[in-house]
Amino acid sequence: MSSLSDIARTLVSDKRGILAADESVGTMGKRLEGVGVESTEENRRLYRELLLTTPDLAASISGAILSDETIRQVLSDGTTFPDALDRIGVLAGIKVDTGAKALAGAPGETVTEGLDGLRDRLEEYVGLGATFTKWRAVYSIGDGLPSERAMHANAHALARYAGLCQEAGLVPIVEPEVVMNGEHSLEQCREVTRTVLRSVFAELGLMGVELEGIVLKPNMVVAGDESGQRPSPSEVARATVDTLRETVPPAVPGIAFLSGGQDPEEATSNLAAMKELAPLPWELTYSFGRALVGPALETWRGSQDQWDAAQKALSERAVANASVR
């Protein structure tokens, strides 16, 4: 079996990135209903089949993150999703957190849950074919937010999750997301992202997590979506890379960004601008959800006639991201 660092390196190397197709049943339901498709188990399966059978996907995608529902489902021909991915040379991942829940004593803030019973669930996911996992912590910028309490609680949970995954032979994607909703400036996002990442790496260290065997999935440093600011890709790139240099040890093999609601082309341009700042201590790549699948979902809208066009839309985004130098 591959070592943790081999799996982590495979996920972030050769310009390939990770497809986040792990929306919970609730979130997927909202996305499907947004394009006029009823959120049935079969429609959620069909949509994931569309994404994961896109021709030549493995040229630009190294891994696909699935949800608990999808990892148990099969393609129309009966192949399980993890087996279908394995056949084309794409690693199967699984989102293992159970969502961000209100944190006691921290109004307006959340802590991501899912640690109870996680060791047993991980064992089951290994049996189902997963080689890596994801856990997302959420931080909002606002008046006095994020609080130290929320940062500590989330970093602690991320580190306990990462430790359990490595014990099970799974590579944890560690995802602390500072969300872009709000009026904050680029500089405020930078400060908060720096503080958050410092707290996460401090907890990973305490928990004895092997940094060579993780993938970090952070937000890019951007201005709030209600700030009226629109920093250029080179400004985003500089602020993001500077923040990461200050906080992410070089032992981490790779950083795969989330898209966080950015326009798909904007996310690609920002990634390209960051790569121009090479050489960097780690690989930089993408683990986008919406910025990869958004155009495909809009194109498909549940219509069999649009199947090929929707796959083409996903392929275009994946190739565009994999092509940035």
Instruction: Report, as residue numbers or ranges, the catalytic residues.
Output: 175, 217
Q: Are 40 and 83 in contact (CB under 8 A)?
A: no
Letter string b/e over residues 225-254, b meaning 16 or more CB atoms within 10 A of that residue's CB: bebeeebebebbbbbbbebbeebbeeebbb
Asked if 259 is part of the footprint of ligand 13P (rule: CB under 6 A), the reply reads: yes
Letter string b/e over residues 159-182, b meaning 16 or more CB atoms within 10 A of that residue's CB: bbbbbbbbebbbbbbbbbbbbbeb
* 285: nearest Cα among 232, 196, 220, 209: 220
Tell me whether residue 148 or residue 263 sits nearer to ligand 13P (CB atom). Answer: 263
Asked if 172 is part of the footprint of ligand 13P (rule: CB under 6 A), the reply reads: no
Question: Least CB distance from residue 158 to ligand 13P, whole Å?
Answer: 13
- Give the per-residue contact string, 272-311, with ligand 13P (x = CB under 6 A; - = no): ----------------xxxx--------------------
Residue written as token pair 């929707």: 310
Question: Least CB distance from residue 175 to ligand 13P, whole Å?
Answer: 6
* 61: nearest Cα among 256, 216, 237: 256
- Give the per-residue contact string, 94-133, with ligand 13P (x = CB under 6 A; - = no): ----------------------------------------
| Interface size with ligand 13P, residues (CB under 6 A) | 10
Question: According to CB under 6 A, which one of 4, 7, 12, 20 is a site residue for ligand 13P?
Answer: 20
Question: Least CB distance from residue 76 to ligand 13P, whole Å?
Answer: 26
Give ∠ CA 11-156-237 in degrees, rounded to 5: 50
Which residue ranges make up the site for ligand 13P (CB under 6 A)?
Answer: 20, 136, 175, 258-260, 288-291
